Amino acid sequence: MDPDDPTRRAILAHVLRGFAMGSADVVPGVSGGTIALVLGIYTRLVAAVGDLSGAAGLILRGQVRAGLERIRAADWLLLIPLVVGSLAAVATLARLLEHLLEDEPIAMAGLFFGLVAASAIVAWWYVREPAGRHVLIAAIVAVVAFLVLGIRTSEVTDPPLWVIPLAGGITICAMILPGISGSFLLLMMGLYEFILESVNERRLAVIGLFALGALIGIGLFSTFLNRLLARHHDVVMAALVGLMIGSLRVLWPWPDGTETAELAAPEGGVLVPTALAIAGAVAVLAFGIYDRRRRDRIS
């Protein structure tokens, strides 16, 4: 394939976008959906996932031919490179980020705080006709998210079987919902250690139930979100901005980085996390400005 072929360039760009999303997904408190929004592929990604879930629904209703046709028409040029890039990121960065989060939790939380705070600004640029009601929606959602993310339950060591697919369905929404981290949702439900231990010990029944719930959850939620974006785009985007602002509670560096939703005044080495927060914010804003100008040229 010609290296100057636009299709090849698009595939490589999507692999890099997938790598960025996968890098975010292995970070507690940061959502891959936030990265997709900043990179300008969020609406397209939700539509593509919605097409696959719609195809699955057709097949389950016995309309196999229509379902297969919808699968063939799905946006594979986007989905496959994103999956490849995401898996590559998890394989190469998970251990590094795990060490950094363990050794430098406050500094890393500062970086993530800056990334997500600037992402909320970039997301607001996607509101096509901003009005006062959109500001109100963003503020209400931010307050609700801030309060909800402060709720933590005690760890559940032996949950009933029906809870596991429910947890999978709820957690998977973080993949396509900016501002919410799947790992933190599991922490809120008290199931983080249980699911992690089940994966490490290869408890196939638990993994299977969790995966089943995740498949059903992402299918139902992506279809719902895709319809909302089509009918109420600016309202949805304003709500997503609020989610990202509210999620900053989890990323506030003090007292313990992303390990807790507790809040404390800055103390100790403030300079490094502050500098990383500013650097992360500048990087996101710079990319957001570049993407906005690129979209303006295309339109």
pLDDT at 98: 65
**CA atoms of 256 and 120, how far apart (whole Å):** 23
The predicted-structure confidence for 124-155, as pLDDT tens digits, reads as follows 988 889 999 999 999 999 999 898 878 766 56
114 belongs to a structural domain: yes
pLDDT score, position 158: 80
Q: Is the pLDDT of residue 4 over 60?
A: no
**Which single residue is written with the structure tokens 């290869």?**
202
Split into its structural domains, the chain has a count of 1
Burial of 185-200, coded b for 16+ CB within 10 Å and e otherwise, reads bbbbbbbbebbeebee
Tell me how many degrees the CA angle 45-49-51 measures, rounded to the nearest 5.
115
Which has the higher per-residue pLDDT, 214 or 97? 214
Domain that holds residue 62: 6-298
In terms of residues, how long is the chain?
299
Residue 27 counted as domain residue: yes
Residue 3 clears pLDDT 50, i.e. is over it: no
pLDDT value for 279: 93
Q: How much is the pLDDT for 256?
A: 84
Q: Is residue 233 part of a domain?
A: yes
pLDDT of residue 1: 44
Per-residue pLDDT reduced to its tens digit, 56-102: 878 878 888 888 998 898 889 999 999 899 888 877 776 777 678 77
Q: How many other CB atoms sit within 10 Å of the CB of residue 26? A: 20
Whether residue 164 is contained in a domain is answered as: yes
Q: CA-to-CA distance for 174 and 167, rounded, in angstroms?
A: 12
Q: Is residue 37 part of a domain?
A: yes
149 within some domain? yes
> Average pLDDT in the 269-275 region?
93
pLDDT digits (tens, 9 = 90+) for 219-253: 778 778 878 888 898 998 899 889 889 888 888 89
Q: In what helix (H) or strand (E) does residue 299 lie, and over which residues does it extend?
A: none
Query: Is 1 a member of any domain?
Result: no
Instruction: Dump pLDDT digits (tens) for 43-59.
Output: 888 888 888 888 887 88
**Has residue 78 been placed in a domain?**
yes
